[in-house]
């Protein structure tokens, strides 16, 4: 362990840390490989929440009721259950709501009632026929994991398939247990961050590490129509867009999850409104704060922001709030597990797919 790699532990965590066993075995490992080893030696079961909300929707449920179920339960995705085959056939997500709104808008809302009353199964099959999901990989299987699979296998599955979440199922009953995500894995690592030896790169800056996205950044302004924002989400498969003012300075961030406000308030009939009107409804600008970072911020500071501020991405800005780039949680995980392609060979038997007899649909693409 390098003497100049010391993380100052908040006093509030001192007593909590003392109650846990130290990971002394990690002190015999090269410090730069600590997090890789941590992910490799811990399982999905280890990061399973003690309590949580599981949303399972029948494939025969109307698409409208499905979206209201997401809003009512405050979740971003729900598993779809196919009763005839007694199997899970995929996920319904905010992306489906976006696709529905665009379809209804293009049809001038003439068929919106028929669209809303169609079942989840009919909706998903219609998307496949139209080729909306043709860019998503492995449309014949659902990527899933078992509780005993390593966290490195989970990271591999998320990155390789470019998705937000992977279902973890019981290997014997095939019952769904929970969804593993980058956020859940990072929060689990953060529980032990003060017990583990600190790799030297944790005190390096974004500029030194050269991680994040800095080219081909897509931004929107306050006058952009909502329908154009939705089309951007659909076309680019991203989950959030920075909002800039006339001087290209960061004003806000509009994410896919914000769109669920339209479903909650049933105000999705007018998609030609400018984004500024929508932001005024969903964000209290007197208290709302966009979480940003700078190129000079150290990696540990950014990890802390991801966990404590519960954000999926950080907008990289300069002193004048001009956008330089975006640093997402997937960028962080890809950096922490740089050998995930090699891990695929050692964990090829852990990342599994379900072999259901019913129709199968993919999960939501991952944000960039």
Tens-digit pLDDT profile for residues 270-307: 899 999 999 988 877 666 789 999 999 999 999 999 99
Bridge partner residues of 220 (DSSP): 243
Instruction: State the Cα angle at 145 between 140 and 146, rounded to 5°.
Output: 135
Output the six-digit token pair for 283: 């964000």
3-state secondary structure at position 304: helix
Report pLDDT for 265: 79
Residue 87 has what pLDDT? Answer: 84
pLDDT of residue 23: 55
The pLDDT value given to residue 256? 92
- Give pLDDT tens digits along the chain (368 positions): 444 444 444 554 445 444 444 455 655 667 778 899 999 999 999 999 988 788 999 999 999 899 999 999 988 899 999 999 888 888 999 999 999 999 889 988 777 788 888 999 998 888 888 765 544 433 346 789 999 999 999 999 999 998 889 999 999 988 889 999 999 999 999 999 998 988 999 999 999 999 999 999 999 999 999 999 999 999 998 999 999 998 999 999 999 999 988 887 777 888 999 999 999 888 776 667 899 999 999 999 999 999 999 999 999 999 999 999 999 999 999 999 875 444 444 444 444 444 444 454 444 444 43
3-state secondary structure of 144: strand
The upper half-sphere exposure of residue 32, i.e. CA atoms within 13 Å in the direction of its Cβ, equals 6
pLDDT digit string, tens, across residues 39-54: 999 999 999 998 878 8
Which fold does the domain 202-335 belong to in CATH?
CBS-domain (3.10.580)
Token pair for 196: 């583990």
Distance (Å, rounded) from C-alpha 225 to C-alpha 94? 19
Query: What integer pLDDT is reported at residue 349 of this predicted model?
Result: 42
pLDDT at residue number 74: 87
| Domain residue spans of the chain | 202-335
Cβ neighbors of 111 (< 8 A, separation 6 or more) are 104
The whole-number pLDDT of residue 291 equals 94
pTM: 0.81
Enter the tokens of residue 35. 């997090």
Looking at the chain, list the stretches that DSSP marks H as alpha helix, in order from N- to C-terminal side: 14-18, 34-41, 63-73, 94-106, 112-117, 120-130, 151-160, 182-191, 206-209, 226-236, 256-265, 275-282, 299-308, 329-336, 340-346
């Amino acid at each position: 362990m390098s003497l100049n790699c010391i993380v100052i532990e908040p006093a509030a965590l001192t007593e909590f840390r003392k109650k846990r066993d130290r990971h002394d075995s990690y002190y015999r490992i090269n410090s730069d490989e600590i997090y890789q080893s941590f992910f490799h030696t811990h399982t999905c079961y280890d990061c399973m929440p003690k309590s949580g909300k599981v949303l399972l929707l029948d494939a025969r449920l109307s698409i409208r009721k499905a979206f209201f179920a997401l809003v009512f339960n405050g979740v971003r995705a729900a598993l779809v259950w196919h009763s005839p085959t007694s199997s899970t056939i995929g996920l319904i997500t905010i992306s489906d709501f976006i696709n529905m709104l665009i379809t209804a808008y293009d049809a001038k809302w003439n068929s919106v009632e028929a669209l809303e009353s169609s079942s989840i199964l009919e909706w998903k099959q219609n998307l496949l026929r139209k080729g909306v999901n043709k860019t998503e990989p492995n449309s014949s299987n659902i990527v899933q994991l078992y509780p005993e699979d390593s966290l490195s296998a989970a990271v591999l599955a998320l990155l390789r398939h470019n998705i937000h979440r992977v279902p973890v199922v019981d290997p014997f009953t095939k019952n769904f247990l929970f969804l593993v995500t980058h956020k859940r894995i990072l929060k689990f690592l953060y529980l032990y961050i003060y017990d583990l030896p600190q790799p030297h790169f944790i005190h390096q800056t974004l500029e030194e590490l050269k991680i994040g996205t800095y080219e081909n950044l897509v931004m929107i302004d306050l006058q952009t129509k909502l329908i154009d924002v939705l089309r951007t989400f659909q076309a680019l498969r991203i989950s959030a867009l920075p909002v800039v003012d006339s001087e290209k300075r960061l004003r806000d961030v509009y994410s896919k999850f914000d769109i669920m406000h339209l479903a909650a308030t049933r105000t999705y009939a007018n998609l030609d409104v400018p984004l500024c009107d929508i932001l005024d409804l969903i964000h209290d600008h007197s208290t709302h704060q966009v979480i940003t970072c700078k190129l000079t911020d150290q990696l540990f500071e950014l990890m802390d922001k991801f966990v404590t501020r519960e954000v999926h991405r950080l907008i990289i800005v300069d002193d004048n709030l001009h956008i330089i780039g975006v640093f997402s949680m997937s960028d962080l995980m890809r950096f922490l597990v740089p050998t995930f392609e090699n891990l695929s060979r050692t964990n090829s038997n852990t990342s599994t797919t379900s072999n259901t007899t019913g129709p199968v649909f993919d999960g939501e693409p991952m944000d960039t």
